[in-house]
Amino acid sequence: MAFLNQWAYIGGSIILILIGLFGVLTRRNLIKIVVSIGIMDTGVNLLLVSLGYVNGGLAPILTAANNTNNLNFVDPLPQALVLTAIVIGVAILALALSIVIKIYEHNNTLQIDEIRGLNL
């Protein structure tokens, strides 16, 4: 069980990234490709947070009850990184979806086999 406690988060998020990558490489529908990119982003964000996780750790905030630096805090820095990464991920998803809309307007289909110049 100790092994699971330590590795479940990292293993799980890597599986999520691989699911997303599989989706990007195999789906033939533009929206599904964008969704797969979203899954990949979520996976990598979870991975970053879990790298800073300490088993049984507290939120890194000093309060009246937790008022010393010596307590078992989780690492706050990866969480700050993930906030930035989430914003960047959302921006890319929004841009990708708006480009999908434009492609749909020009071609009237979302299947990449039917769109010229899009054989990934």
Partner 1 sequence: MNPSLLIALPLLIAFLIPLFAKLHKKLPNILVLISTLLNVVITFSLFNAVMENPLIIKLGNWNIPYGINLYIDKLALISLIIISVLTFLIAIFNLRNIGELDQAKFNSMFLLAFAGINGIVLTGDIFNLFVFIEIAAIATYVLATMKRKDSYQATFKYIVMGSIASVFLLIAIGFTYSSIGSLNMAVIARSAAQLNPSLLRVITLLFLVGIGIEAELFPMNLWIPEVYSKSYVGVTAFLSGVLSVAGIYAMLRVYFTIFGNSGLYIYLTVIGAITLILGEFIAYQQENIKKMLAYSSIAQMGLVISVISLNSIGSMQAGLFQLLNHSILKVLLFISAGLMTYAVGSNKIKDLAGLGKKMPIAGLGFSIGALGIMGIPFLNGFVSKMMILQNTLGLEKYFITGLILLATLIEVAYYLKVIQTLYFKENVLKVKQLFPCVIPVGILSLTAFYLGIFPQSLLNILNQVSSQILDNSNYIISILGGI
Residue 44 binds to partner 1 (criterion: CB under 8 A) = yes
- For residues 32 and 66, which CB has a smaller minimum distance to partner 1 in the complex? 32
Distance CA 10, CA 49 (A): 9
| Cα torsion 97, 103, 107, 113: sign | negative
> What CA–CA distance (Å, rounded) separates 59 from 20?
30
Max CA pair span of the chain = 63
Q: How many angstroms separate the CA atoms of 110 and 100, rounded?
A: 8
Does residue 40 bind partner 1 (CB under 8 A)?
Answer: yes
CA 112 to chain CA centroid, Å, is: 24
Residue 84 touching partner 1 (CB under 8 A): yes
Is the CB of residue 76 less than 8 Å from the CB of residue 52? yes
Q: Which range touches partner 1 (CB under 8 A), out of 1-9, 47-55, 60-68?
A: 47-55
**Per-residue contact track with partner 1, 85 to 104, x per CB under 8 A?**
x--xx-xx--xx--xx-xx-
Q: Residues binding partner 1: what is the number (CB under 8 A)? A: 36
**Which residues bind to partner 1, rule: CB under 8 A?**
17, 20-21, 24, 30, 33, 37, 40-41, 43-44, 47-48, 51-52, 77-78, 81, 84-85, 88-89, 91-92, 95-96, 99-100, 102-103, 106, 115-118, 120
